[in-house]
Structure 1
């Protein structure tokens, strides 16, 4: 499979590639470890999967990561909602990521601190940062966070699509009116360890609760602007208006239903009131019925994605935006088909008049500032 081509071969594309020669590029979220775990042939076997070849069936592999000019990648140890052994599942995914780093040591440098991004770029490598997606992995034990940190985890997304024992999800019924007292203790421990708090997937009330108690900047590793697309996974304006005061970063995501209102509306018949697929639904059959009634699914586009970046930059400032693809082997927007296409974002924003200084902040400067602040607040 050939690598994805830029949507328009023009001066902006050339300028984007030149810029990324000296500016590091960070992607805040990618679910490749879960894709590898679910692969029918590899079944979690890193050697069998072979990240060194192009995987036409999905979106992430080493050749296309290099083509995308990545210098830092946050890979997630995703824990499914209602997983019966969340800590064990998280540990298995951490072990998988550690094997990826070891097996491909010529490509990946372990990412443990902000400075590892510049070091990786200087070496011609990619800093691989491990995260946990779904704080259910704490499994009721604050000390689990210390163990995860010791294994190299540097960011945790507080929940996923389901509310759990201490955090309300944006896509599930609330149980805690935001964050429970234990949840607030989790934030305190993460702050002391120097682990980045990630509010993607979190209910708005819980976002506010975190912003009330955190002593360090936070991120939304893969979320867009609710005002442009009303999916509950996106960030509402009243929360956005607190981001600059916290020093945090919203990393806009490529998920079509979080970018395009048309795509979001098309999918509504197959989603519950919280914007997720109901348990037990035959999703393929439901989508086929939507196609029969409403026609093909509307495509999200690179231009619509950059509309979110424009909105975020205008609302919260250029110091508080980043990129968090959330590639997971699923639907993708036109122009953002796989990890080789990150330069397309830079090129489109150049066409819109973004300065190279602001693009450098978007590409990595803002996330690196957050990471350093989190590191300095630890202790």
Structure 2
């Protein structure tokens, strides 16, 4: 993976940098802990990985996070579907994030409340929020949520690409017609604790069920608009139309197949009927076959990404849109290659006439509002 191309150095880009000096920028989803865990040399050792140096083979490290002007970062304790020891796997990822906090206290501070983002911004640090990506980590025990909360977890994505014992995935066969009774209890417990409910990865029925049950705003930490790109991970209009009433936020994501319909269509032969790669697939071989048959992968762009942001803002309001990169060391859009490129989003929207007020909401204001509302609803 190459480093980001130099940005377009115009008045809009300069204005974007100036804005992000004043207002907090929050990214709703990044899989760096899993990248470190799967790195062939580091194997989960934060010190061996060395976040202080640029890692051009992937997309996230301290120099580029600083260049991207982040004030808040949600890092995921990702648990793969069908992981035989989901709770243990999640705990290992949480331990890795806690090690990042310990080793790089000059860069990160624990993200536990909205106030931590504002404090981090004032200090020139980044508030690191720990999340769990895949509620299978609960492992059938509601009280596990309490333990995760006490460890510092402040958001949980209800499932990943596979349907769990209590939650239907957007990219797997449904088994529960949405959320099971236990799944609805998960939502209630998360509300009580003050843990953000994340509906990225869930089926539309789960989205509706959660909106029916939740007493606090919810988020989609890395999803786009289904109308612009028909990947099942994106949010359909009938769900979007309920977001404002809930007070939630859809954090538009950088994943090319969720941005570009052409990229989504190009990749279909590598995906099953539910839009995910079959287990055990040789990705490199399958994609080489697609290239031989259909030509190179169509690229997604920062402009196409901003089309999703604008669609969401028009459909559900500027108060309900955020940014959730989903950087995980894979193919990224032109102009959004790594964590140094967040200002490109702001610059593109400045060129489209967005006001400073609405840009501040997108960058982090809306996410801060959700955090405060979730905190207020707890207890």
TM-score bracket for the superposition, by shorter chain length:
over 0.9
Query: How much does 1:7 deviate?
Result: 3.3
Residue 287 of structure 2 is aligned to residue 287 of structure 1: yes
Show the counterpart of 1:182: 182
Q: Distance in 1 between matches of 2:321 and 2:222?
A: 11
The superposition leaves residues 320-370 of structure 1 with CA deviations (integer Å, 9 ceiling, x where unpaired) of 000000000001000000000000000000000100000000000000000
Q: Distance in 2 between matches of 1:246 and 1:122?
A: 30
Q: Distance in 1 between matches of 2:281 and 2:24?
A: 42
C-alpha change, 1:2 and 1:227, in structure 2 (3 Å) is: closer
Q: Conserved in 2, the CA contact under 8 Å of 1:302 and 1:334?
A: yes
Show the counterpart of 1:90: 90
Query: How much does 1:286 deviate?
Result: 1.1
Show the counterpart of 2:126: 126
Q: Distance in 1 between matches of 2:188 and 2:98?
A: 27
Q: Distance in 2 between matches of 1:209 and 1:106?
A: 42
Q: Distance in 1 between matches of 2:305 and 2:137?
A: 31
Q: 5+ unaligned residues in a row in structure 2: which ranges? A: none
Show the counterpart of 1:198: 198
Show the counterpart of 1:16: 16
Show the counterpart of 2:236: 236
Q: Distance in 2 between matches of 1:301 and 1:204?
A: 27
Q: Conserved in 1, the CA contact under 8 Å of 2:2 and 2:57?
A: no
Query: How much does 1:47 deviate?
Result: 0.4
Residue 289 of structure 2 is aligned to residue 311 of structure 1: no
Query: How much does 1:6 deviate?
Result: 4.2
Q: Conserved in 2, the CA contact under 8 Å of 1:3 and 1:64?
A: no
**After superposition, where does 1:68-147 map in structure 2 within 5 Å?**
68-147=68-147
Query: How much does 1:5 deviate?
Result: 4.4
Residue 339 of structure 2 is aligned to residue 339 of structure 1: yes
Query: How much does 1:3 deviate?
Result: 5.9
Q: Distance in 2 between matches of 1:19 and 1:279?
A: 44
Residue 49 of structure 2 is aligned to residue 49 of structure 1: yes
Q: Conserved in 2, the CA contact under 8 Å of 1:223 and 1:234?
A: yes
Partner SS for 2:73: strand
Of stretches 274-283 and 78-87 in structure 1, the one that deviates more from structure 2 is 274-283
Count of equivalent residues: 379
List, as ranges, runs of 4+ consecutive aligned residues in structure 1 with deviation greater than 2 Å: 1-7
Q: TM-score, normalised by structure 2?
A: 0.99
Q: Distance in 2 between matches of 1:267 and 1:370?
A: 34
Q: 5+ unaligned residues in a row in structure 1: which ranges? A: none
- RMSD across aligned positions (CA): 1.0
Q: Distance in 1 between matches of 2:102 and 2:247?
A: 34
Q: Distance in 1 between matches of 2:207 and 2:95?
A: 30
The superposition leaves residues 283-312 of structure 1 with CA deviations (integer Å, 9 ceiling, x where unpaired) of 211111111111000000000000000000
Q: Distance in 1 between matches of 2:62 and 2:187?
A: 34
Show the counterpart of 2:359: 359
Residue 158 of structure 2 is aligned to residue 158 of structure 1: yes
Q: TM-score, normalised by structure 1?
A: 0.99
Show the counterpart of 1:263: 263
Q: Distance in 2 between matches of 1:177 and 1:333?
A: 34
Query: How much does 1:2 deviate?
Result: 9.3
Show the counterpart of 2:248: 248
Partner SS for 2:251: strand
Q: Conserved in 2, the CA contact under 8 Å of 1:75 and 1:128?
A: yes
Q: Distance in 1 between matches of 2:350 and 2:28?
A: 21
Q: Conserved in 1, the CA contact under 8 Å of 2:31 and 2:328?
A: yes
Query: How much does 1:77 deviate?
Result: 0.1
Residue 300 of structure 2 is aligned to residue 300 of structure 1: yes
Query: How much does 1:104 deviate?
Result: 0.1
Q: Distance in 1 between matches of 2:356 and 2:280?
A: 48
The superposition leaves residues 178-228 of structure 1 with CA deviations (integer Å, 9 ceiling, x where unpaired) of 000000000000000000000000000000000000000000000000000
